[in-house]
Amino acid sequence: MGIIGHIGRYFLLLKDTFSRPERASIYWRRTVEEMDLLGLKSLGIVALLSFFMGAVITIQTKTNIDSPLIQAWVVGFATRQSTILEFSPTIIALILAGKVGSNIAAEIGSMRVKEQIDALDIMGVNSAGYLILPKILASMLINPFLVMVSMFLSIFGGYIAGTATGIVGATDYLQGIQTGFIPYHVTYALIKTVVFAFIIATVSAYQGYYTRGGTREVGISSTQAVVYSNVVILIVNYALTQILLI
Amino acid sequence: MIEVKGLSKRFGNTQVLTDINAVFQRGQVNQIIGKSGSGKSVLAKCIVGLHVPEEGQVLYEGRSFHDMDRDQKKEVRQEIGMLFQGSALFDSLNVLQNVLFPLQMFATMSKREMEERAHFCLKRVNILDKDQLFPSELSGGMQKRVGIARAIAMNPKYLFCDEPNSGLDPQTSILIDDLIKEITEEFDITTIVITHDMNSVMETGENIIFINQGRKWWEGTKEELLNSDNKELNEFIFAGGLMRQVKKAMTGRS
């Protein structure tokens, strides 16, 4: 199947996914379960990455702009801007595409090869809606929370790294993260996060849902889910940045 | 009753089924037999609507399935129970939750009534004491039983069993065959069993259809099966020494 065929089948799957649910209460319960599975269980890795990401940004910024003409608070400013505008929404989305996307593709792909999706279809359950919709909703609801935590920990990581190594003083860093703050940048980051969450859930679910064969093909679907999610995220990231920031 | 009229199915350039005509009667264990790759599972998937045939019709009580709209198909599907070759139980749900699943999705009854119905189905297949276990903790035979319990939970009019004996020892196979036959008679449902297990055919088969090279090659009862002079059918059913001995004992000729 060519790329146009895949895109067409992806949108047809979305149409089935968003058709009327059989029992809204069951879908909502599944959404809450998925928020725990896809979101809260990713909190540890997101926290760890974000803390060290912020620490590295601070040290690299300082070592690259070490000039008497540039004020010390700029390090905090640059760390905050890099974190809010790009690192937290995009890097965390790429990490989640690897962790959550492969999980979604493997789970749905295994259900396909074990005929569990056929079992749902024969019962009269809208298998696409039942399996995919809660994952989309859960990702779109929980990922902004993860990114907010990431932003905080990244900026905090920068503070710890800056003050512990002595390359930037606490007062200068705190002044920097408050200077020229534009609240819209957080809105921009959260819009990107929600769009990326939708991409991760749907592209990965598409790969899993159309798995054919056995366990080898489940592995291939899982890998493709990560690769395609990342590619789509990077392209959409550019488009959103141009639309929302220029 | 399910009727199949002039059904043909292709995958790309490969013709898998050609002009299949068959009637599956209510209250009977109808069997579709044939070699691996003969097209019997594809036929079953066309009948339940998982595959769309290029030509032909499948009629449920005279209503053409492929001409129905989405909601009508959904209604018919809620009247279908299916036991899959690998049982297809949901791994993340325990035995009771698996049986409760179709009830929670579609039944209009209280939670207590649903649990009573699920317990009744599990009791009917003699596995009530395992209701809190997960599918991975069950043997193949137990998984099949749970699969049957889930299939009958919604009081289906039609029961499909895809290779119900695959991977089971002979004793467990007989238990599963007996269970399918009992349930078919007890609830007066139209049962279609896809199999290549001749023991199962001789145990439960009433109306038997032999599929070969994607065509209906032969149809009849198990008594007629043993006396048929159809060459391909004889090659299939008497491939094993046991069946040749059964024929000799029953008909006096080898």
Round to whole Å and give the CA distance between B219 and B198.
15
Number of separate domains in chain B: 2
The percent of residues in chain A predicted with pLDDT above 70, rounded, is 100
**Using H for helix, E for strand and C for coil, what is the string for chain B?**
CEEEEEEEEEECCEEEEEEEEEEECCCCEEEEECCCCCCHHHHHHHHHCCCCCCEEEEEECCEEHHHCCHHHHHHHHCCEEEECCCCCCCCCCCHHHHHHHHHHHHCCCCHHHHHHHHHHHHHHCCCHHHCCCCHHHCCHHHHHHHHHHHHHCCCCCEEEEECCCCCCCHHHHHHHHHHHHHHHHHHCCEEEEEECCHHHHHHHCCEEEEEECCEEEEEECHHHHHHCCCHHHHHHHCCCHHHHHHHHHHHCCC
- B50·A122 Cβ contact <8 A: yes
Does the residue B84 lie in any domain? no
Q: Is residue B128 in some structural domain?
A: yes
* Cβ-nearest to B106 among A22, A115, A119: A22
As a whole number of Å, the CA-based R_g of chain A is 21
Is B236 inside any structural domain?
Answer: no
Mutate to test the interface with B, among A122, A125, A126 (most CBs of B within 10 A): A122
Which residues have a Cβ under 8 Å from the Cβ of B228 and sit 6 or more positions away? B218, B220, B234
Burial B156-168 (b: 16+ CB within 10 A, else e): bbbbbbbbbbeeb
Distance from CA of B229 to the nearest CA of A (A): 37
Provide the pLDDT for residue A9: 95
Tell me, what amino acid is at A119? A
CB within 8 Å: B48 and A122:
yes
Interface test with B, best of A22, A103, A123, A212 (most B CBs within 10 A): A123
Q: Is there a single domain that holds both residue B102 and residue B145?
A: yes
Last residue of one domain, picked from the residues B103, B137, B155: B155
pLDDT tens digits for range A148-187: 999 999 999 999 999 999 989 999 999 999 999 999 999 9
- Torsion sign over Cα B144, B147, B152, B157: negative
CB-based contact A221:A109 (threshold 8 Å) = yes
Cβ-nearest to A124 among B90, B104, B106: B106
In this complex, do B77 and A124 lie within 8 Å of one another by their Cβ atoms?
Answer: yes
Summarised one tens digit per residue, pLDDT across range A101-153 is: 999 999 999 999 999 999 999 988 999 999 999 999 999 999 999 999 999 99
**CA A168/CA A159 separation, integer angstroms:** 8
- Check whether residue B101 and residue B211 sit in a common domain: no
Domain membership flag for residue B229:
no
Query: Nearest-CA distance from A25 to chain B in Å?
Result: 10
Contacts of residue B88 in chain A, CB cutoff 8 Å? 114-116, 118-119
Contact B80 A23 (CB under 8 A): no
Q: Which domain holds residue B27?
A: 1-79+156-221
Residues B163 and B62 in one domain: yes
* Same-domain status, B75 and B1: yes
Asked if residue B71 is part of any domain, the answer here is yes
Beta-carbon contacts of residue A185 (< 8 Å; ≥ 6 apart): A81, A84, A85
Q: What is the pLDDT of residue B171?
A: 80
Query: Are the beta carbons of A23 and B105 separated by less than 8 Å?
Result: yes
Among the partner-chain residues B77, B86, B90, the one whose CB lies closest to the CB of A122 is B77
Contact between B123 and B141 under an 8 Å Cβ cutoff? The reply is no
Q: Return mean pLDDT, chain A.
A: 93
Chain B: nearest CA to A230, how far in angstroms? 29
pLDDT > 90: what percent of chain A? 84
Q: Kindly state whether residues B213 and B143 are assigned to the same domain.
A: no
More confident residue, A66 or A245: A245
Give the amino acid at A60: Q
DSSP chain A: --HHHHHHHHHHHHHHHTSPPS-HHHHHHHHHHHIIIIIGGGHHHHHHHHHHHHHHHHHHHHHHS--TTS-TTHHHHHHHHHIIIIIIIIIHHHHHIIIIIHHHHHHHHHHHHTTHHHHHHHHT--HHHHHHHHHHHHHHHHHHHHHHHHHHHHHHHHHHHHHHHTSS-HHHHHHHHHTT--HHHHHHHHHHHHHHHHHHHHHHHHHHHT--SSHHHHHHHHHHHHHHHHHHHHHHHHHHHHHHH-
Radius of gyration of chain B (CA): 19
Same domain, B13 and B73: yes
The alpha carbon of residue B105 is apart from the nearest alpha carbon of chain A, in Å, by 6
- Regarding whether B100 and B145 lie in a shared domain, the answer is yes
CB contact, 8 Å: A22 with chain B?
Answer: yes
Which residues on chain B place their C-beta less than 8 Å from a C-beta of chain A? 45, 48-50, 73-75, 77-78, 80, 82, 84-86, 88-91, 101-102, 104-106, 154, 160
pLDDT in tens, A18-34: 988 888 888 999 999 99
Q: In what order do the strands lie in the sheet with B55-60?
A: B14-24, B2-11, B55-60, B63-64
Classify residue B234: in a domain, yes or no: no
Find the residue in B nearest to A22 (Cα): B105
Instruction: With CB atoms and an 8 Å threshold, state whether B90 touches A116.
Output: yes
**pLDDT tens-digit map of A179-212:** 999 999 999 999 999 999 999 999 999 999 999 9
* pLDDT for the residue A225: 96
Min CA distance, B193 vs chain A (Å)? 16
CA nearest neighbour of B3 among B51, B57, B81: B57
Mean pLDDT by 10 residues, chain B (254 residues): 92 91 91 89 90 92 88 88 90 94 89 92 87 92 90 90 84 84 89 88 86 90 82 79 70 62
Q: Of the residues B127, B155, B183, which one is the last residue of a structural domain?
A: B155
User: Does any domain span residue B28?
Assistant: yes
Higher-confidence position of A78 and B198: A78
Under an 8 A CB cutoff, do A123 and B106 touch? yes
Report residue A222's pLDDT band, with 50, 70 and 90 as the boundaries.
Answer: very high
Same domain, B61 and B105: no
Do B161 and B75 lie in a common domain?
A: yes
Does residue A29 belong to the interface with chain B, where contact is any CB pair within 8 Å?
Answer: no
- Domain C-terminal end among B115, B136, B155: B155
For position B6, which CATH number holds? 3.40.50.300
Same domain, B23 and B112: no
Same domain membership, residue B48 and residue B166: yes
Residue of chain B whose Cα is closest to the Cα of A110 = B91
Residue B253, pLDDT score: 61
A122 touches chain B (CB under 8 A): yes
Same domain (yes/no): B35, B55: yes
Beta carbons within 8 Å of B100's beta carbon, 6+ residues apart:
B114, B115, B118, B153
Interface test with chain A among B72, B82, B103, B160, by most A beta carbons within 10 Å: B82
